[in-house]
Amino acid sequence: MKLLAISGSLRRDSHNTMLLQAAEELLEPGDALELWQGLREVPPYDQDDDVEPAPAAVATLRAAVAAADAVLIATPEYNSSVPGALKNALDWASRPVTTNVFRNKPVAVIGSSIGMFGAVWAQGELRKVLAAMGARVAEVEVAVGRAQERFDLNGTLIDDEVREQLRDGLATLAAELDPALVAA
């Protein structure tokens, strides 16, 4: 499985980015995870600019999603919803509607916050957005609350329960892949 990982946080010491890095450690042999680094460069969505060729950062995102077998998104929660930068990038990726790169793409949403609930509302909203785009949203929920207690100062996940949830989530996402792809 070739996995594209997207963190919804631009923060240098983001717990959501750490969560994706922890997921990378749990991949099965032969699987690979690429952490997308382009979120900051995506311009504000403007339908006037949504022409070919697309802005470079948008083209890079679309190509990365298209090339991936599945996408894993870790989102923080901002004001009970998805951070604007992440939603903006998905708006770009959602066009053209019928052929957008997320259509039928297996996607899992996970998330982390420093509060109690682990970004559950943001995750729910993100799943709704992805479903509207036509993505195949896997039944995965890893909600990491009190994130500051789950990672050490090096950003390493130190919570075995979260690690097991991540492992299960990756297996559920892999099961969403076309059996022919899994065998390849």
Residue 119 CB, nearest approach to ligand FMN (Å): 6
In single-letter form, the type of residue at position 15 comes to: H
CB nearer to ligand FMN: give 75 or 94: 75
CB nearer to ligand FMN: give 1 or 22: 22
CB nearer to ligand FMN: give 14 or 94: 14
Residue 79 CB, nearest approach to ligand FMN (Å): 5
Residue 113 has phi, psi (to 5 degrees) of: -145, 165
* Alpha carbons 87 and 81: distance in angstroms, whole number: 10
Q: Which residues bind ligand FMN (CB under 6 A)?
A: 9, 11, 14-16, 76-80, 112-115, 117, 119, 147
CB nearer to ligand FMN: give 1 or 82: 82
Residue 149 CB, nearest approach to ligand FMN (Å): 12
* Alpha carbons 116 and 170: distance in angstroms, whole number: 23
User: 73, 110, 112: which is closest to 93 by C-alpha?
Assistant: 73
Place of tokens 């708006």: 91
In single-letter form, the type of residue at position 158 comes to: I
In single-letter form, the type of residue at position 97 comes to: V
